[in-house]
Amino acid sequence: MSTPVLELTEVTKRYGDFTAVNKINISIPQGSVYGFLGPNGAGKTTTIRMILDILRPDAGQVQVLGASSAMKVRDRIGYLPEEKGLYKKMKVWAIIAYFGTLKGLSRRQAKEKACSLLETYGLSDFANSSVESLSKGMGQKVQVLSSIVHDPELVILDEPFSGLDPVNQEVLEQLIRDLAGNGQTVIFSTHVMQHAERLCERLLLITQGSKVFDGTVDEARAIIPRRIVLETRDDISPIRSLNGVLSVQEHQVDDETRLPGTRQWELYVKEQTDPQLILQHCFESGVSLSRFDFTQATLHDVFVHLVGQEAREHNFR
Ligand SMILES: Nc1ncnc2c1ncn2[C@@H]1O[C@H](COP(=O)(O)OP(=O)(O)OP(=O)(O)O)[C@@H](O)[C@H]1O
């Protein structure tokens, strides 16, 4: 197996008596898209700043691209900070190119790459505009492009979706997919589950500075069993005893539109259980259904389950 692009071992950060990040361990393979998720104040930005050696951990080790400090490999890393802002008077193409030259590109390479990025991500009409004339969202897109102009092996984006409208969020999702398709490793932090669900191979969920989950999206979904709701007037014993059915609960049906005697059942089934087989079994054993719904847990369900009340209070979507 190849060396991980990033490895955190027991990384901890304290501010006085308060532990902002508590013994985080992660290992991120090359070429993956990895999401840092967690409610406000969970410790995502602090973790990212420790990865970049902007902040020193109080305990634990960080290994980035084989180095003990991101500063030693800075030209191979691209970073979009949480606090965004660009030099306002510069032209859009020039600022992107400028960041490229800071990371080792020649002026010519940097200009060519800046113009090609602006073209690819729908900003070529703004190439000669000054940064101050851009909307906040456009400015943010320009800053994202500035962070990747030098084709970094590792791209770290702190809250890249915040402040973007849905169309530009899609453009950014595509950009992240393009980077991954190119073999670049992308880490991004977000509160919004849907971005993580669509983009990430793996996720880290932290809350109150501690890791509560690290794994694939499928592994996260498997934490909550799949749920089937069915309604019938028949005896469901043949379904109850099926292999793969974990538990069955009966619910009250008050609706007058249902036929008298209709009962509602909620079945929790194993991750590997195909709901079609349950449906087929109902049919074969003469259980006549007036409703059959199958729902798979979303990442949001899983994380509310793991983070609990805190997720609701902090508007964790
Ligand atoms: N310089 C500091 N001094 C004291 N406490 C701090 C400092 N920086 C961060 N914290 C605290 O550390 C915790 C983690 O903050 P951090 O910014 O890493 O969270 P986050 O997950 O990025 O949150 P958000 O999504 O709101 O940006 C918070 O409780 C924050 O108040």
Atom of ligand 1 nearest to the CA of 206: 21
Q: Give, for ligand 1, the residue of 24, 36, 45 to mutate: max count of ligand atoms closer than 8 Å to Cβ.
A: 45
Residue 313 in this model has a pLDDT that exceeds 70? no
For ligand 1, atom 4, name the residue with the nearest CA.
Answer: 15
Q: Give 95's DSSP letter.
A: H
Please give the residue that has the higher pLDDT: either 268 or 12.
12
| C-alpha of residue 245 to centroid of ligand 1, in Å | 43
Question: Does any ligand 1 atom lie closer than 6 A to the CB of residue 20?
Answer: yes
For ligand 1, atom 5, name the residue with the nearest CA.
Answer: 15
Question: Does any ligand 1 atom lie closer than 6 A to the CB of residue 15?
Answer: yes
Residue 137 in this model has a pLDDT that exceeds 90? no
Q: What are residue 171's phi and psi, to 5 degrees?
A: -60, -40
Determine the average pLDDT of the residues in 274-287.
91
Who's near 104: CB < 8 A, 6+ residues apart?
75, 150
Radius of gyration for the alpha carbons in the chain, expressed in angstroms and rounded? 24
Residue 265 in this model has a pLDDT that exceeds 90? yes
Instruction: Round to whole Å and give the CA distance between 161 and 158.
Output: 9
In this predicted model, what pLDDT tens digit does every residue of 38-86 receive, in sequence order? 888 899 999 999 999 999 999 999 999 999 999 999 999 999 998 767 7
Determine the average pLDDT of the residues in 237-259.
84
Q: Coil, strand, or helix at residue 188?
A: strand
Question: Does any ligand 1 atom lie closer than 6 A to the CB of residue 81?
Answer: no
- Number of Cβ within 10 Å of residue 287's Cβ equals 20
ipTM of the complex, rounded to two decimals = 0.96
Atom of ligand 1 nearest to the CA of 158: 22
Atom of ligand 1 nearest to the CA of 15: 4
For ligand 1, atom 28, name the residue with the nearest CA.
Answer: 41
Question: Does any ligand 1 atom lie closer than 6 A to the CB of residue 21?
Answer: no
Atom of ligand 1 nearest to the CA of 82: 27
| C-alpha of residue 42 to centroid of ligand 1, in Å | 7
Is residue 183 packed enough to be buried (19+ CB in 10 Å), middle (13-18) or exposed (0-12)? exposed
- Number of Cβ within 10 Å of residue 232's Cβ equals 20
Alpha helices, H only, the chain:
44-51, 92-102, 107-120, 136-148, 166-181, 193-199, 217-221, 237-240, 275-284, 299-307, 309-313
pLDDT of residue 148: 96
Mean pLDDT value across the chain: 89
Task: Tell me, rounded to whole angstroms, the distance of Cα 29 from its chain centroid.
Answer: 16
| C-alpha of residue 311 to centroid of ligand 1, in Å | 16
Instruction: Round to whole Å and give the CA distance between 139 and 141.
Output: 5
Kindly state the greatest CA–CA separation across the chain: 78
C-alpha angle 12-15-16 in degrees, rounded to nearest 5: 115
Question: Does any ligand 1 atom lie closer than 6 A to the CB of residue 46?
Answer: yes
For ligand 1, atom 24, name the residue with the nearest CA.
Answer: 40
Atom of ligand 1 nearest to the CA of 49: 18
Please report the DSSP string for 31-91 in residue order.
T-EEEEE-STTSSHHHHHHHHTTSS--SEEEEEETTBS-GGGGGGGEEEE-SS----TTSB
Domains of the chain by start residue, with CATH: 4-221 (3.40.50.300), 225-296 (3.30.70)
Q: Per mean pLDDT, which range of 18-22, 61-65, 136-140 is the poorest?
A: 136-140
Give the C-alpha distances (Å, rounded to integers) separating 51 from 6, 8, 46, 187: 8, 8, 9, 11
